[in-house]
Structure 1
Amino acid sequence: MELMRLEVEIRTPGEHGPLESTVDDHWFKLIFDTILMSLESTDPGEHGPLESTVDDHWLMIWQEQVSVVVMLSNFTEDNKEKCYQYWPIKGKVRVEGSISVRLLQEKKYAFYTLRKIKLEQKTTATSRLVCHFQFTMWSDSEIPYPSELVQFYRSVKRAQDACPSSPVLVHCSEGGGRTGTFIALDKLHRAGQRAGRVNVTKCLVEMCEQRMNMVENMEQYILLYHTLKESFHRNVYPIRKEKLSTILTEEMQKPDKENYLRKQFCELMCVRPVYDDLINETGYRNIQLNLMPTVLPDEEFRVTFPSGERRTRNDFYNTVFLSTITEYNGLIVAPYPADNTAEDLIRLMMRQKSRVLVTMHPLIELHSTVLWYPDKSSELSQYKIYREASGFLTSDIQRVTIRIESTKRSEVHRVHVYEILSWSTKNIIPRDTKLATTVIKEARQTREEEGGGPITVMSYDGASGCGVFIALYNAMEQLSMDGAVDLFSIVHDIHIRLPRMMSTMDEYEFCYQAIAELYTQ
Structure 2
Amino acid sequence: MVMMTTTGMMPLSGFPREEALRAALYMLHMPACYVPTRVEASEMIACQIRGTSGMATTQPTFNNEKEQDDGHRTTCAPPAAAAPSGPSPAGTPSPALSSPTASPTRTSDGTSNSSGLVPTTHTSAPTQSPPTTTTTTTTGDSLTPSHAATAPAPAWDVLTGGGGGCLSLRNAKFANVDVTYHYENNKTFHAEVDADGDLTCPSPLQCGNRRIGGLQECQTISVQISHQSCANYKTLLLHVPPGPENFRLVECVQRKKPTRLFVYAGKQMQRRAVTQRKLNTSISVKVKCHALYSDIQRQHLFLSENNTSTEEEFEITDLEPHRNYTCSSEVFYGNHLVVEERKTIETDFGTPDSLSNVACTTVSATEGKATWESPQPIFHNFSLCYHRLNSGSRNCIDLSENVKEHYLSNLDPYTKYEVSVHAYVIGKIRREGAARTCEFQTASAAPSEVRNLVVVPKSDNIMQVTCDPPEHFNGPSTHVYRLEVLTGGSVVKRDSQKKCQFLVTDLHYSTQYTFEVYYYNGDMVEIQIQLLNQHPVNNSKALISFLVFLIVVTSIALMVVLYKIYDLHKRRSSNLDEEQELVVRDDEKQLMNVEPIHADVLLETYKRKIADEGRLFLAEFQSIPRVFSKFPIKEARKSFNQNKNRYVDILPYDYNRVELSEINGDAGSNYINASYIDGYKEPRKYIAAQGNPPTVPGSLRGTVLGRVQEGVSEVACVPLLGPREETVDDFWRMIWEQKATVIVMVTRCEEGNRNKCAEYWPSMEESAREYGDVLVKVTDYKTCPDYIIQKFSITNKKEKIAGREVTHVQFTSWPDHGVPEDPHLLLKLRRRVNAFSNFFSGPILVHCSAGVGRTGTYIGIDAMLEGLEAENRVDVYGYVVKLRRQRCLMVQVEAQYILIHQALVEYNQFGETEVSLSEFHPYLSNMKKRDPPSEPSPLEAEFQRLPSYRSWRTQHTGNREENKSKNRTSSVVPYDYNRVQLRHELDVSKESEHESDESSDDDSDTEDPGRYINASFVMSYWKPEVMIAAQGPLKETVGDFWQMVFQRKVKVIVMLTELKNGDQEACAQYWGEGKQTFGDLDVHTKETTPSSAYTLRVFELRHSKRKEPRTVYQYQYSSWGVEELPAAPKDLVSMVRDLKQQLPRRRAAEGSKHHKNVPVLVHCRDGSQQTGLFCALFNLLESAETEDVVDVFQVVKSLRKARPGMVSTFKARAESKAQQDDPKPSSSPAGTGRAANGPESPALTQSA
TM-score class, shorter-chain normalisation, is 0.7 to 0.9
Q: Deviations over 1:268-314 (max 9, x none)?
A: 43341424365323332343332223222333333345447856553
Q: Deviations over 1:211-238 (max 9, x none)?
A: 1221222222222211211122342254
Whether contact under 8 Å (1:23, 1:207) holds in the other structure is no
**Residues 451-462 of structure 1: matches in 2 within 5 Å?**
453-462=1158-1167
Aligned pair in 2 of structure 1 residues 448, 290: CA closer, same or farther (>3 Å)? Answer: same
2:1055 is the alignment partner of 1:379: no
2:936 is the alignment partner of 1:280: no
**Residues 464-483 of structure 1: matches in 2 within 5 Å?**
464-483=1169-1188
Q: Secondary structure at the match of 1:170?
A: strand
| Residue ranges of structure 2 left out of the alignment (5+ in a row) | 1-521, 524-591, 603-677, 695-700, 709-716, 983-1000, 1148-1156, 1216-1231, 1242-1248
Distance 1:56 1:170 in 2: 16
**Residues 437-516 of structure 1: matches in 2 within 5 Å?**
437-448=1133-1144, 453-498=1158-1203, 500-506=1205-1211, 512=1233, 515-516=1236-1237
C-alpha deviation, 1:444, in angstroms: 1.8
TM-score, normalisation: structure 2: 0.38
Alignment partner, residue 118 of structure 1:
793
Indicate the structure with greater helix content: 1
Structure 1 counterpart of 2:882, from 183, 186, 206:
206
Distance 2:1187 2:1081 in 1: 42
C-alpha deviation, 1:71, in angstroms: 1.3
C-alpha deviation, 1:338, in angstroms: 2.3
Alignment partner, residue 400 of structure 1:
1097
Alignment partner, residue 517 of structure 1:
1238
Aligned pair in 2 of structure 1 residues 321, 9: CA closer, same or farther (>3 Å)? Answer: farther
Task: Please identify, of 32-41 and 486-495, the stretch whose mean Cα deviation from structure 2 is larger.
Answer: 32-41
Q: Deviations over 1:103-126 (max 9, x none)?
A: 233222222222222223233363
Whether contact under 8 Å (2:1074, 2:1084) holds in the other structure is yes
Equivalent AA in structure 1 for residue 1077 of structure 2: E
Whether contact under 8 Å (2:969, 2:1166) holds in the other structure is yes
Structure 2 counterpart of 1:417, from 1114, 1123, 1126:
1114
Q: Deviations over 1:322-372 (max 9, x none)?
A: 3333333432211112234323322322233221111111236758634x3
2:815 is the alignment partner of 1:149: no
C-alpha deviation, 1:190, in angstroms: 1.1
Distance 1:149 1:450 in 2: 24
Aligned pair in 2 of structure 1 residues 446, 487: CA closer, same or farther (>3 Å)? Answer: same
Aligned pair in 2 of structure 1 residues 320, 50: CA closer, same or farther (>3 Å)? Answer: farther
Structure 2 counterpart of 1:263, from 930, 938, 941:
938
Alignment partner, residue 862 of structure 2:
186
Distance 1:375 1:283 in 2: 32
Aligned pair in 2 of structure 1 residues 407, 287: CA closer, same or farther (>3 Å)? Answer: same
Equivalent AA in structure 1 for residue 878 of structure 2: K
| Residue ranges of structure 1 left out of the alignment (5+ in a row) | 14-21
Percent identity, aligned pairs only? Answer: 24
Structure 1 counterpart of 2:758, from 63, 84, 89:
84
Q: Aligned pair count?
A: 508
Whether contact under 8 Å (2:981, 2:1007) holds in the other structure is no
Aligned pair in 2 of structure 1 residues 8, 281: CA closer, same or farther (>3 Å)? Answer: farther
Aligned pair in 2 of structure 1 residues 503, 265: CA closer, same or farther (>3 Å)? Answer: farther
Whether contact under 8 Å (1:12, 1:232) holds in the other structure is no
Whether contact under 8 Å (1:71, 1:172) holds in the other structure is yes
Alignment partner, residue 17 of structure 1:
none
Q: Secondary structure at the match of 2:1143?
A: helix
Distance 2:953 2:1195 in 1: 26
Distance 1:450 1:156 in 2: 25
Structure 2 counterpart of 1:95, from 740, 757, 770:
770
Structure 1 counterpart of 2:688, from 24, 32, 38:
32
2:1024 is the alignment partner of 1:328: yes
Aligned pair in 2 of structure 1 residues 114, 449: CA closer, same or farther (>3 Å)? Answer: closer
Alignment partner, residue 342 of structure 1:
1038
C-alpha deviation, 1:267, in angstroms: 3.2
C-alpha deviation, 1:496, in angstroms: 2.9
Alignment partner, residue 781 of structure 2:
106
Aligned pair in 2 of structure 1 residues 50, 345: CA closer, same or farther (>3 Å)? Answer: farther
Whether contact under 8 Å (2:704, 2:721) holds in the other structure is no
| CA RMSD in angstroms, aligned pairs only | 3.6
Q: Which has the higher contact order (CA 8 A, sep 6+)?
A: 1
Indicate the structure with greater strand content: 2
Distance 2:1053 2:721 in 1: 44
TM-score, normalisation: structure 1: 0.86
Equivalent AA in structure 2 for residue 502 of structure 1: V
Alignment partner, residue 232 of structure 1:
908
Alignment partner, residue 974 of structure 2:
297
Equivalent AA in structure 2 for residue 221 of structure 1: Y
Whether contact under 8 Å (1:32, 1:175) holds in the other structure is yes
Q: Deviations over 1:465-521 (max 9, x none)?
A: 12211222222212211223222222222233235212222169876565252999x
Structure number with greater Rg is 2
Distance 1:514 1:120 in 2: 45
Aligned pair in 2 of structure 1 residues 266, 295: CA closer, same or farther (>3 Å)? Answer: farther
Distance 1:80 1:148 in 2: 24
Q: Deviations over 1:389-434 (max 9, x none)?
A: 111242x41111111111134452211111111211242x212321
Equivalent AA in structure 1 for residue 1169 of structure 2: S
Aligned pair in 2 of structure 1 residues 7, 187: CA closer, same or farther (>3 Å)? Answer: same
Aligned pair in 2 of structure 1 residues 189, 328: CA closer, same or farther (>3 Å)? Answer: farther
Alignment partner, residue 359 of structure 1:
1055
Aligned pair in 2 of structure 1 residues 77, 247: CA closer, same or farther (>3 Å)? Answer: closer
C-alpha deviation, 1:182, in angstroms: 1.1
Structure 1 counterpart of 2:871, from 192, 195, 217:
195
Equivalent AA in structure 2 for residue 424 of structure 1: G
C-alpha deviation, 1:99, in angstroms: 1.5
Equivalent AA in structure 2 for residue 284 of structure 1: N
